[in-house]
Amino acid sequence: MNKEKMSDSGFTLVELLVGLAISCIVIVAAYSFVLTGLRSYDMSRKNAELQEETQFIENAIVDAVENGKASTSDITSVVYSGTTWTVFDTGYQKICYDGSGKLALYGLTDTVGADLKKHLLSSNVSLFNVSYVLDEYETDATGHVKTALATGEKSGLVEVEFDVSLNNKTDKIIKKYKFRNK
């Protein structure tokens, strides 16, 4: 009787298990690299978005203050449709904050609160304060006294503080602005 010899070609169970284990290690390592890259990209994108929004708001405030007049500027409250808005009237534009995150920029003749989509600067502002810096003396850029101010007269220098909260990150800005057309 002629017995045929069995072929030894193929993989043993141990070889298959070792190959599967090595493949799993490579796949997990590749997934970790991809996941780390995606997290880094997302964090960078969120930081850039926060900085972009903060800069956009700051530019709008600078424009309103620098083109405004300190003598006509005032900080008041206005109620529109049940919402109380803090209004900073620069004599050029009105910077308005509703206390719940919305910061808007209105023209002098616009009704505060109306047509918000057209005037909205940001819906991510968690704090907005404006205060005048009262000095006895007005100084030039080098700090030298130019003129004495009357008691209680507004110096034309305002301090604006605002916080932008976006994607669980907050950017705090405190700046002093000088009215150009005093």
DSSP-assigned beta bridge partners for residue 129: 161
How do beta strands 120-122 and 169-178 pair? unpaired
What tens digit of pLDDT does each residue of 95-119 get?
999 989 999 999 988 999 889 999 9
What is the rounded CA–CA span in Å between residue 26 and residue 9?
Answer: 27
What tens digit of pLDDT does each residue of 11-50 get?
899 999 999 999 999 999 999 999 999 999 999 999 999 9
pTM (two decimals): 0.70
What tens digit of pLDDT does each residue of 56-71 get?
999 999 888 888 876 6
What is the rounded CA–CA span in Å between residue 98 and residue 105?
Answer: 12
Handedness of CA 40, 41, 46, 50 (dihedral sign): positive
What tens digit of pLDDT does each residue of 138-175 get?
566 665 555 545 555 556 678 889 999 988 889 999 98
Contacts of residue 93, defined as CB under 8 A and 6 or more positions apart, other chains included, come to 63, 64, 67, 68, 105, 106, 107, 108
What is the rounded CA–CA span in Å between residue 87 and residue 53?
Answer: 20
What is the rounded CA–CA span in Å between residue 10 and residue 96?
Answer: 77
